[in-house]
Amino acid sequence: MRLRAGLVVCLYAVLIVVGCRDPLVPNFEDNLPPETWITAAPQDTVTTLDPIGTVIPPVVGTIPVIFHLYWAGSDADGDVVGYYYAVVETSTAIPVGGIRPPRLPGPKPRDYRFTTRTDSTFIFNVAEFNPDREHAFYIFAVDDKGRPDPTPARFIFNAIDRYPPLIVFDEASATGRVFRQGPGGALFTKDTTYALTDTLNPQTVTKDFVPVGSALTFRWHTELRSPLLVPVEFKYKLDETNFVSVDSSVQRIDYAAGATSPGPKIFTLKALDQAGGSRTPPSTRRFGLNLPPDTWWSGPDPNSPFWSSRPKHAHSTQQLKYRQVSNYATLPPIPGGLVNCDSVTVLPSERPFRPTFLEIWKDTIYVHAEGDTVHLNSWLIFSNGGFDQDSPYSVRVSPIDPAVPDTAACGGGAVLRAGPANGSPVGFRGFLGTALDPFGSFSAPTIRGVYPLFDPVDFRRIPQINGYQEAVLSGRGYAVMRAEDGNGQDLGGRDNDIPTSVKSWVDRVDESGTPEERITRTKKVLTFWINHNPFLLTSAPTFSPKLTPPGQRDTLATRQVNINLLADDIDPLDPTVLLSPVGGPTPTKVFRFTVSFSGQNTNGRDTTITPPDLYRLSTVNLLSYPIPPAIIDVDIDMIVELCDCLECEGQQGRGRCITQTFSLHAPPPVARTTARAVQSRSGPGSSAALSGGRTP
């Protein structure tokens, strides 16, 4: 096929090119040029014109990177003795932001090669990051007198590497020394091998973790997806800045023990074929070089005789375990409480599992467990145990910090001494989230800094041994503590078994969790109620109406109710009192009363009415109040809502409300009668029902 684009190439003073000097132009007047055709290609190579003579660009087709081309030539007055061919291609750059790579360049004289053949199999170059690359193939015949075809044949195409070799890992493993806990908590070390199976998937989290200092082994083979495309080079990278290239004979890479730094890791391996193509995405193994620590609650022993026991208050059956304290500076040793010498002498790995915690309220310290209720505006103390298999005990304690406790009186302070790995995490982080009253909106503060951290120059400095939280929001508390090892949270050294969406996770596990999830929930999350309910003083002599046993009603002489509501709150928090210190109540109490009446109306339907003058009052002390006339029933319920907050609905977490029902029996309403009503003829139903008359 002839290309009529006028393409002419200067080639060693043999080819005619516009702009060459006349003395260099051979005399071809008596010799006709040859013709050249590409006889097997995926597109028509003849340049076509539209009706007005404009060149129509060829349609670019796609062929494999290995392709067999055929061509032919003829000469009207001689013989074709050979062909010159050239292949040009676009840049290997990947389009960014919709910008295409540079267009195909034209062939240069040095690009041409001579051949006497009329066919050949080509391997067209692509790129390891871009298997689709645009090419152009040019070819022209030369006759026996050295005259070339001035219009070379050409076709433009995309060469795509669809079937690069596939890498299959035969082994991806890590071997390292870790701590184990034997019977009775005794520690020993053991060399352990871990298989690495996690591939890089942005939608998933890392699932494989291996010990710090592990020796790593990666061994593989390739499977050909095309018998003609074989690997000629491998590229790999782990901690290296750039990919390391090795020839195709290398099929194993080893990293010595300790040669790789802790942290999240991705081992990436590519196989490049003759065309320069590589499988996308490459083969990977993702893992964390640092085994996460474990966490559990290790609170005080609630069964110790150290604790006294009493009901929560006179109207409660819940038993509180408590100890009154005259001076917190000289707090007596609490069995298992980790607030005395045991907090600096007992390493986290040696602490028993006890899902309990402490509460400080005024001059009393309480021990609590799952589901208990703590005082609003109290201090909570959480202590934890933990285990770490592989990290150094680089506890963050500076000897120049003035807050570092003197451990001499305790006979030592192993918890505050840095050293080699000992099976313990170096600290804990925690937060207390609250499902706020009354609607359950979740308030989840950020996770606090690691403790203990005794360093006067560290802005995260937390000079404390245990976790302290203020219980200042009313609702259901969700306490979570996470152990952190000596390699730090940014290197995968934090216990993240509990997701950040702790409330939804706990609620789901409590309802339908797996046995493994329930164990994790018990070990690492404590839920409890914050804010004791306010209560009505129904047993007070002046309280009215009377609270009757179930099935009985307080009988009224008239359809008037004496209402004198008395209430109390053992942990009041008045928001109008500014800067109220945590650890005790405010000097003033907040109450909000709403009274409603429930019974049948004139249509025989149950109805509930809240009189406007009994809605959200700070006190209710009425000698007599009429039952709403719209309720004609004799058995009536008076419903009292008591809140320990002023605007619970608008400002969640300030308090909660309770309701209590008082069963009343009142005389039937007396119908109003008039002269006209007496003279009227009787009709169906009672006169009260007809007239709507009510006793005021």
Cα–Cα distance measured from residue 275 to residue 122, given in angstroms and rounded to the nearest whole number: 10
All residues at 6 or more sequence positions from 390 whose CB lies less than 8 Å from its CB, including other chains: 176, 177, 178, 179, 211, 212, 213, 290, 291, 421, 485
Query: What is the reported pLDDT for 542?
Result: 94
All residues at 6 or more sequence positions from 458 whose CB lies less than 8 Å from its CB, including other chains: 396
* Each residue's pLDDT tens digit, 565-603: 999 999 999 988 866 789 999 999 999 999 999 999 989
Nearest in space to 480 (alpha carbons), one of 495, 492, 491, 490: 495
Nearest in space to 172 (alpha carbons), one of 135, 220, 205, 109: 220
- SS3 for 432-454 is EEEEECCCCCEECCCCCCCECEE
Mean pLDDT, range 486-509, rounded to an integer: 88
pLDDT category of residue 333 using cuts at 50, 70 and 90: confident
Domains, the chain, ordered by start = 22-160 (2.60.40.10), 166-289 (2.60.40.10), 301-530 (no CATH), 536-665 (no CATH)
Q: Please name the amino acid found at residue 21.
A: R
Residue 189, classed as helix, strand or coil, is strand
Query: What is the reported pLDDT for 99?
Result: 57
Nearest in space to 205 (alpha carbons), one of 443, 448, 499, 484: 499
- SS3 for 387-414 is ECCCCCECCEECCCCCCCCCCHHHCCCH
Distance of CA 362 to the CA centre of its chain: 39
Q: Fill in the DSSP letter of residue 185.
A: G
Q: Which of 85-99, 411-425, 431-445, 446-460 has the lowest average pLDDT? A: 85-99
pLDDT category of residue 46 using cuts at 50, 70 and 90: very low
Query: What is the reported pLDDT for 55?
Result: 58
Instruction: Give me the DSSP letters along 574-627.
Output: -TTSTTPPTTS--SS---EEEEEEEEEBTTS-EEEE--GGGSSBS-EEEEEEEP
pLDDT category of residue 286 using cuts at 50, 70 and 90: very high
* Each residue's pLDDT tens digit, 85-138: 999 988 766 555 555 566 788 899 999 999 999 999 898 988 887 788 888 999
Q: Fill in the DSSP letter of residue 422.
A: -
Q: Which two tokens stand for residue 467?
A: 């976790």
Cα–Cα distance measured from residue 589 to residue 572, given in angstroms and rounded to the nearest whole number: 5
In contact, 140 and 148? CB cutoff 8 Å: yes
Distance of CA 542 to the CA centre of its chain: 56
Q: Which of 4-8, 140-144, 266-270, 292-296 has the lowest average pLDDT? A: 4-8
- SS3 for 293-327 is CEEEEECCCCCCCCCEEEECCCCCCCEEEEEECCC
Question: Is beta strand 427-436 parallel, antiparallel or unpaired with respect to 442-443?
Answer: antiparallel
Q: Which of 40-54, 295-309, 431-445, 465-479 has the lowest average pLDDT? A: 40-54
Distance of CA 596 to the CA centre of its chain: 46
Query: What is the reported pLDDT for 41?
Result: 61
Q: Which of 15-24, 139-148, 448-457, 470-479 has the lowest average pLDDT? A: 15-24
Query: What is the reported pLDDT for 458?
Result: 79
Q: Fill in the DSSP letter of residue 511.
A: H
Distance of CA 231 to the CA centre of its chain: 39
Instruction: Give me the DSSP letters along 106-119.
Output: PPPGGG-EEES-SE
* pLDDT top residue among 646 and 685: 646
Residue 687, classed as helix, strand or coil, is helix
pLDDT category of residue 3 using cuts at 50, 70 and 90: very low
All residues at 6 or more sequence positions from 302 whose CB lies less than 8 Å from its CB, including other chains: 321, 356, 367, 369
- SS3 for 122-165 is EECCCECCECEEEEEEEEEEEECCCCECCCCEEEEEEEECCCCC
Nearest in space to 196 (alpha carbons), one of 222, 176, 212, 217: 217
Q: What values do phi and psi take at 490, rounded to 5?
A: -70, -10
- SS3 for 211-243 is CCCCEEEEEEEEECCCCCCCEEEEEEECCCCCC
**Cβ–Cβ contacts within 10 Å for residue 414, how many?**
17
Q: How many CA atoms lie within 13 A of 183 on its CB side?
A: 0
Q: Which of 44-53, 224-233, 433-442 has the lowest average pLDDT? A: 44-53
Residue owning tokens 């004791």: 532
Query: What is the reported pLDDT for 27?
Result: 54
Cα–Cα distance measured from residue 266 to residue 288, given in angstroms and rounded to the nearest whole number: 9
Which of the given ranges, 59-63, 183-187, 375-379, has the highest pLDDT on average?
375-379
